[in-house]
Structure 1
Amino acid sequence: MPKNQIPVLKEDRPKMKSGRKIIFILMLLFLALLIVLFFRSPVSKVSEIHFTGNTFNTEEQLKEKAGLAIGVQYFSVDAENVKKNLASLGTIETVEVDKQFPGVVNVNVVEFPTVAYELANNGSLQAILANGKSIPVSASGIAVEKPILTQWDPKDPNKAKLSKVLADIPNSMTSDISEILPSPTPSFPDRIKLYTRSKFEVITAVSLLRDKVEYLNQVIEMEQPGIITMLEADSYEPFKPEKLEQGAEEPPTQE
């Protein structure tokens, strides 16, 4: 090869980086436009809200408390926030939120069961829930087999404990109890007095009722009306027969 021969220069290839960058930017702009159009369209908004399992609150009340409304952004509905907001009502035990795209939100609530009733200061009937909360009785009516709580202080902690105990006992074992009153003593601060529809008077304690209720039902089934004591020891004493029936006229005296 001659010493003075000049090497052949390589031909520069056209660079594609600038073109790819422009395409990428255009794609981003197109994607952003699609997102803007989507969130402005009815498809991205809540179009249906359904509640099931509610009896203590109307759907409108639940919607307001949950922060749900027709037309809000579907993807902004947070299931955990809905659950937290509804739980603050005090009547709802569990909440399930099922979102179905596009636009449908289904909310199933499980309310605390009603365990008893009481008369409020204004004379209205209140339902006592398993968590101890009192709420006005709905138009659906009352369950006649539930007891009535009378003379209870709303701030008495034993009232809430009693509500939880009643919720744990099957209805079949408490259906004969008509009334429950507080009757505390120094030895038993949670002592209560019960009256049954079968004319028994029962003395026990909130902390003992769950374990003693079976004995209560056995006595009611086998014995005549009387006083049943279910504290440290169980006992039964029949009522003394009255000399005259209530309402009967006394016999005339002979002169």
Structure 2
Amino acid sequence: MPKSNIPVLKNPKPKKNTSRKVAALLIVLFIVLLSVLFFRSSLSKISDIQFRGSTYSTNEELLKQSGIQIGENFFGTSAGTIIKRISKIPSIQSVTVDKRFPGTVEITVKEYPPVAYELSKEGKLTAYLSNGSKVLVKQGTSLEKPMLSGWEKDQVNLLKLCSTLGKMPDDLTSDFSEILPSPTLSFADRIKLYTRSGFEVLTTISLLPEKAEYLNDIIETQQPGLITMLEADTYVPFVDPSQAEDGENGTTHE
């Protein structure tokens, strides 16, 4: 008896799980909706901007330079962008930005240290910082750095002097009272320096760091005088010690 041809039934393909797709789509829509609501809410806005460490720039100046404002999108401006903007202020050496959710931006600046002061013809007191920038000084500031005089025509060496003073420890410069340019053909960066203890010093900006310790030794052990610290070091007292001693021991007769 002949075999009947029975057709082979194919396995049915699994139907796509449309319910999963719908669920995934709903989740995406829900996330989008939450995102829209979040970025429209106060939680996504800057609510507090704090500045720390500034002496020469006001909070208003720093705020303007930062380019951000209260009420703006918290995520709209990166910390790196804020740092680049504020770093353009000449007196600022470094900037750190701490963004704390929700809404707080803390900006801390480190300014270049003052190395000298100058009194203008108008009577305004300004400070020179270690990078050579110049800033106005508030009234009542303690002047613990030397005064500068006569540097209007020698800006190149003035910048060099500011950089040099900025690298020297305070204990080596604390006695400096006034610094003036005193260039010669042989020493273009020669300076004349007066100390609070009554000494007059001739040296160069280049030699000042290595000569400063020797200078302090003389100041601590000798009477006021003229100190020359160039290729050779010399010290000449203003008053001959023997004459000073004779004057102290002298008597007056009627």
TM-score class, shorter: 0.7 to 0.9
Aligned to 1:161: 160
Aligned to 2:25: 25
**How does the TM-score come out when normalised to structure 1?**
0.87
Judge conservation of contact 1:55–1:138 (CA < 8 Å) in 2. Answer: no
Matched, 1:123 2:123: yes
Matched, 1:9 2:9: yes
Task: Give CA deviations for 1:195-238 in whole Å, capped at 9, x if unaligned.
Answer: 11111111011111111111111111111111100111110011
Residue pairs, 1:202-221, within 5 angstroms: 202-221=201-220
Residue pairs, 1:47-196, within 5 angstroms: 47-139=47-139, 141-153=140-152, 156-196=155-195
Q: Which runs of 5+ in 1 are unaligned?
A: 244-255
**How does the TM-score come out when normalised to structure 2?**
0.88
Task: Give CA deviations for 1:48-104 in whole Å, capped at 9, x if unaligned.
Answer: 111111111111211110112111111123111111111111111111111111111
Q: Which runs of 5+ in 2 are unaligned?
A: 244-254
How far apart, CA to CA, are the structure 1 residues paired with 2:239 and 2:194? 17
How far apart, CA to CA, are the structure 2 residues paired with 1:219 and 1:160? 28
Question: How many residue pairs align between the two structures?
Answer: 241
How far apart, CA to CA, are the structure 2 residues paired with 1:33 and 1:155? 65
C-alpha spacing 1:11/1:240, structure 2 compared with 1 (3 Å): closer
Question: Given residue 237 of structure 1, which amino acid in structure 2 is its aligned partner?
Answer: V
Aligned to 1:223: 222
How far apart, CA to CA, are the structure 1 residues paired with 2:175 and 2:223? 14
Question: Given residue 109 of structure 1, which amino acid in structure 2 is its aligned partner?
Answer: V
Question: Given residue 198 of structure 1, which amino acid in structure 2 is its aligned partner?
Answer: S
CA drift of 1:8 comes to 6.1
Larger deviation: 12-21 or 87-96?
12-21
| SS of residue in 1 equivalent to 2:15 | coil
Question: Given residue 159 of structure 1, which amino acid in structure 2 is its aligned partner?
Answer: L
